[in-house]
Structure 1
Amino acid sequence: MRRQLAQYGPPWTRDHERDFETVTLPERDCDLLRDLLISDRVEALVEVGLAYASSALAIGEALVTIDPPHPRHVVVDPFQEPAYANVGWDLLCAAGLDSTVQLMREWSSIALPELVTDGLVVDAAFVDGSHRFHEVFVDLYFLRKIVRPGGLIVLDDDWTPSVRTAVRYYEKNLGWTAIPDAFADGTLRHIGDDPTAELVPRCRAIRLPEALVEPPFERFHPF
């Protein structure tokens, strides 16, 4: 299914020029995401944003390869039906992954707190939802309570200043650590799409600290 999607595109796209190519995670980055999850032996994961399901299929491939006894893949996307006509979900079902994937058709700011309340703990998260600073910041706030200590958080579109700034708070104040080589061979973009700015990988992988610690409010590092 991944090969077919990359080669032929989805069976339906929104009425925007080159929408699939613009929105979806490129195949090479999907490969790197899959390999990272396999190397980390991820058994359960939360994904924010589904769209055309390129990343979700790569995550599914990783889970099938690892073959844990109880795989868990929770996807959060309020726009899957109204904006994408369920094309991503249909592709997951066609790949036979609907038995292990749970789709929450709610805003991440609503769905993620529900998962915290339910006591869900996962090994990793992939974040490709809203790129507005405040919404990325809120996604990461709740995901640090869902992803186990020492787990992974991977973000798409780290070249956007809003995403980079949100992540920087957690790096400077909560001890999150970038895995610099994880996507070094993937798609590169200029920060802010400014051709004079630094060229960086599209995706960023973060390792969480080995313990969930709330620092005192006096220990604040500007970001």
Structure 2
Amino acid sequence: MELIDRVRETRRRLAEDGPEWTRREHDFATVTLPERDCDRLRDLLIADRAETVVEVGLAYGSSALAIGEALVAGGGTPRHVIIDPFQRDAYHDVGWNLLTRAGLDRIAELIRRPSSEALPRLQAEGLVADAAFVDGSHRFHEVFVDLYYLRKIVKPGGLIVLDDDWAPSIRTAVRYFERNLGWTVLTGAFDGGTRVIEGAVTGEQMVRGSGTVTGNPRCRAIRLPDERFEPAFDDFRQFVE
């Protein structure tokens, strides 16, 4: 079986049957990135011709498999750098074992350290990524640090996708970079995916009488500016609403 077929089959089985082990009942449905959002993540990376992707947070592996599918489909010299300090102790290596079973361990590496330690090291080593997917800590200061270093690692014009955009801590962290460093939201990138309505995640598009879809997409895709720049010391725009 070709590698891409192995990846797709592993993705299909995970979506249909779930992982072989979970931390608690319903945890997979709560934690993992839904299949429809994984498909959109995959398509975005393929459209961007991404070859090197950094992922923060592995958990049960659904997003990692989608990223792996995109990298294999794109050809080139694929590299997938995954950061997750909790994969062994919290998830019994379920996500990493799935990637290995799919044959993606040949292009992927797992760094079992906090992202606040791993990302500075990767930046110091000179890693240049085409894109990143962020689904790690939801604490504001840790999301902010992730984005601070990913701005240095992801190439100019590259792509950063964040899960759980409904969380105020994540939205606030992203807003700083939008307002002060020229990051641009790709409107419509996750239309048709999972939406968040009144704080609850739903896999269905909720349609009102007007026929318009309500709720915000669970994921947000952001394009970095084409050139890196540092704002002047006194050039600061408020980002907390």
Common fold: TM-score over 0.5 = yes
Distance 1:164 1:3 in 2: 31
The question of 1:221 aligning with 2:229 is answered no
Secondary structure of 1:140's partner?
A: helix
Aligned to 2:22: 13
What TM-score results when the alignment is normalised by the length of structure 2? 0.89
Distance 1:122 1:86 in 2: 25
Aligned to 1:130: 137
- From the superposition, tell whether residues 172 and 191 of structure 1 become closer, same or farther in structure 2 (CA, over 3 Å): farther
Distance 1:21 1:157 in 2: 13
The question of 1:39 aligning with 2:47 is answered yes
Distance 1:158 1:46 in 2: 18
Distance 1:161 1:192 in 2: 10
1:89-128 aligned within 5 A:
89-128=96-135
Runs of 4+ in 1 over 6 A off after TM superposition: none
Aligned pairs, number: 218
Aligned to 2:222: 206
Distance 2:199 2:157 in 1: 30
1:43-62 aligned within 5 A:
43-62=51-70
Alpha-carbon offset, residue 17 of structure 1:
2.6
Aligned to 2:208: none
Secondary structure of 1:98's partner?
A: helix
Alpha-carbon offset, residue 43 of structure 1:
0.6
The question of 1:64 aligning with 2:72 is answered yes
Distance 1:172 1:186 in 2: 26
Distance 1:149 1:128 in 2: 21
Alpha-carbon offset, residue 158 of structure 1:
0.2
Amino acid at match of 2:148: Y
Aligned to 1:139: 146
1:168 corresponds to which of 168, 175, 182: 175
Aligned to 1:86: 93
Amino acid at match of 1:11: E
> Which string of whole-angstrom CA distances, capped at 9 and with x for unpartnered residues, describes residues 9-28 of structure 1?
001111x2300000000000
Secondary structure of 1:181's partner?
A: coil
What TM-score results when the alignment is normalised by the length of structure 1? 0.96
Distance 2:75 2:12 in 1: 21
| Identity of matched residues, % | 67
C-alpha contact 1:159 1:202 (8 A) present in aligned 2: yes
Q: Give the number of the structure whose alpha-carbon radius of gyration is greater.
A: 2
C-alpha contact 1:160 1:191 (8 A) present in aligned 2: no
Alpha-carbon offset, residue 191 of structure 1:
5.8
Across the aligned residues of Structure 1 and Structure 2, the Cα RMSD in angstroms comes to 1.1
Amino acid at match of 2:73: T
Distance 2:197 2:54 in 1: 28
